[in-house]
């Protein structure tokens, strides 16, 4: 079994000036404190550009039980963000702006079901950053520059420290895997690098995992359910 891919810097580049212009349009919007209160020190805030109810203060990342998410009032005024989102031909599970204030840090943690092998994936597009941002993924530092586009396998332990003097703001897109995204991800990687073995588990744990996969209701999740049910 090939080792799972931790991150990818895609050959996609966005206009950093236009990104910053759109951010300025929503800086006076109500930025909500991130809900994982125990995972960070300092100020870490967010607004949703797409959400289940179309409200910018609905910053939750998972919408497994919602068929689709819709543009919020914040996205309506951001023409470049809309252009970028329209260029990604996959369904979105969450689209947010995340602001890690100067001096703040996100503690080491891992998310669940946010690797491409799970059928879900997270993209980061840095809008405002600085050389003193320390982003660590699986013990390796990643330097993500303004206007770049990165896949981050958030299942692996990661942390961020903004040691700079200005806020760090990323456009963060959670997507649902499809043929279009496969083409993007497999350009420089093989499909085997996005497959993980079904873990050995007791019957109770197996049923809990199956119930969680049912909530996702994706082709990849259904394939995993089939494997677990054998």
Residue 94 has pLDDT above 90, yes or no: yes
pLDDT number for residue 171? 98
CA-angle at 181, arms to 179 and 183, nearest 5°: 70
Q: Give the mean model confidence (pLDDT) for residues 63-80.
A: 85
pLDDT number for residue 175? 94
Look-up of token digits 């068929």: 67
| Prediction pTM value | 0.85
Tokens at 196, concatenated: 């993980």
Tokens at 81, concatenated: 């963000």
CA-angle at 176, arms to 159 and 172, nearest 5°: 40
Q: What is the pLDDT of residues 115-146, one digit of tens each?
A: 999 999 999 999 999 999 999 999 999 999 99
Look-up of token digits 């329209």: 86
The set of residues, in sequence order, having a beta carbon less than 8 Å from that of 28 and lying 6+ positions away, is: none
Q: Which of 41-50, 76-85, 204-213 has the lowest mean pLDDT?
A: 204-213
Q: What is the pLDDT of residues 27-66, one digit of tens each?
A: 999 999 998 888 899 999 999 999 989 999 999 876 555 5
Q: Give the mean model confidence (pLDDT) for residues 204-214.
A: 84
DSSP annotation of 5 reads: P
Q: What is the pLDDT of residues 148-198, one digit of tens each?
A: 999 999 999 999 999 999 999 999 999 999 999 999 999 989 888 988 766
pLDDT number for residue 3? 86
Coil, strand or helix at 175: strand
Residue 202 has pLDDT above 80, yes or no: no
């Amino acid at each position: 079994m090939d080792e799972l891919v931790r991150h990818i810097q895609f050959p996609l580049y966005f206009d950093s000036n236009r990104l910053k212009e759109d951010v300025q349009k929503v800086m006076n919007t109500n930025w909500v404190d991130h809900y994982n209160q125990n995972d960070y020190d300092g100020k870490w805030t967010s607004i949703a550009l797409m959400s289940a109810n179309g409200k910018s203060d609905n910053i939750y990342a998972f919408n497994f039980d919602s068929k689709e998410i819709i543009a919020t009032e914040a996205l309506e005024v951001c023409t470049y963000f809309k252009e970028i989102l329209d260029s990604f031909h996959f369904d979105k599970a969450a689209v947010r702006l995340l602001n890690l204030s100067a001096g703040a840090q996100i503690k080491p943690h891992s998310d669940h079901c946010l690797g491409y092998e799970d059928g879900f994936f997270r993209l980061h597009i840095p809008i405002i950053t600085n050389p003193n941002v320390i982003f660590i993924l699986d013990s390796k530092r990643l330097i993500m520059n303004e206007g770049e586009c990165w896949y981050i396998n958030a299942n692996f332990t990661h942390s961020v420290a903004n040691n700079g003097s200005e806020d760090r703001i990323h456009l963060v897109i959670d997507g649902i895997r499809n043929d279009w995204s496969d083409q993007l991800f497999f350009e420089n990687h093989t499909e085997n690098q996005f497959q993980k073995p079904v873990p050995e588990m007791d019957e109770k744990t197996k049923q809990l995992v199956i119930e969680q996969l049912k909530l996702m209701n994706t082709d990849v999740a259904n394939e995993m359910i089939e494997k677990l049910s054998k």
